Amino acid sequence: QVQVVESGGGLVQAGGSLRLSCTASRGTFSLNFIGWFRQAPGKEREFVAAISRNDGVKYYANSTKDRFTISADYAKTTIWLQMNNLKAEDTAVYYCAAQSGRNYYAEYNYWGQGTQVTVSP
């Protein structure tokens, strides 16, 4: 069973930066995509970014592509989300997730516990 663990959340002032980390373990050979999602209070969970473990192609939501960067280590079992110029509306619980589908928008089967990011105005 694949395990996904995130870290790196916290409190930051608007305009600041944070870097989230995610490590996938156990059975990662079957994974094709690892990505980040977030859920703000009272809102549905939304896609933030993802990376293909096969070719390294990166995918971003329109709302974050100019400020956030997803990257991965050589094995693509540890990924990072560098978040710059954070805004109050970026406040959310951020989740790392992984899946074995054919494209980055396929269903994500494995989820981390989430890490809180709070951006103060």
Q: String of b and e for 54-72 (b: at least 16 CB within 10 Å)? A: eeeeebbeeebeeebbbeb
pLDDT tens sequence across 22-34: 999 998 889 999 9
pLDDT tens sequence across 30-88: 999 999 999 999 999 999 999 999 999 999 999 999 999 999 998 889 999 999 999 99
Answer yes or no: is pLDDT of 12 > 90.
yes
Distances (CA, A) of 41 to 29, 45, 46, 55, 109: 34, 10, 12, 34, 23
State the average pLDDT over residues 11-23. 97
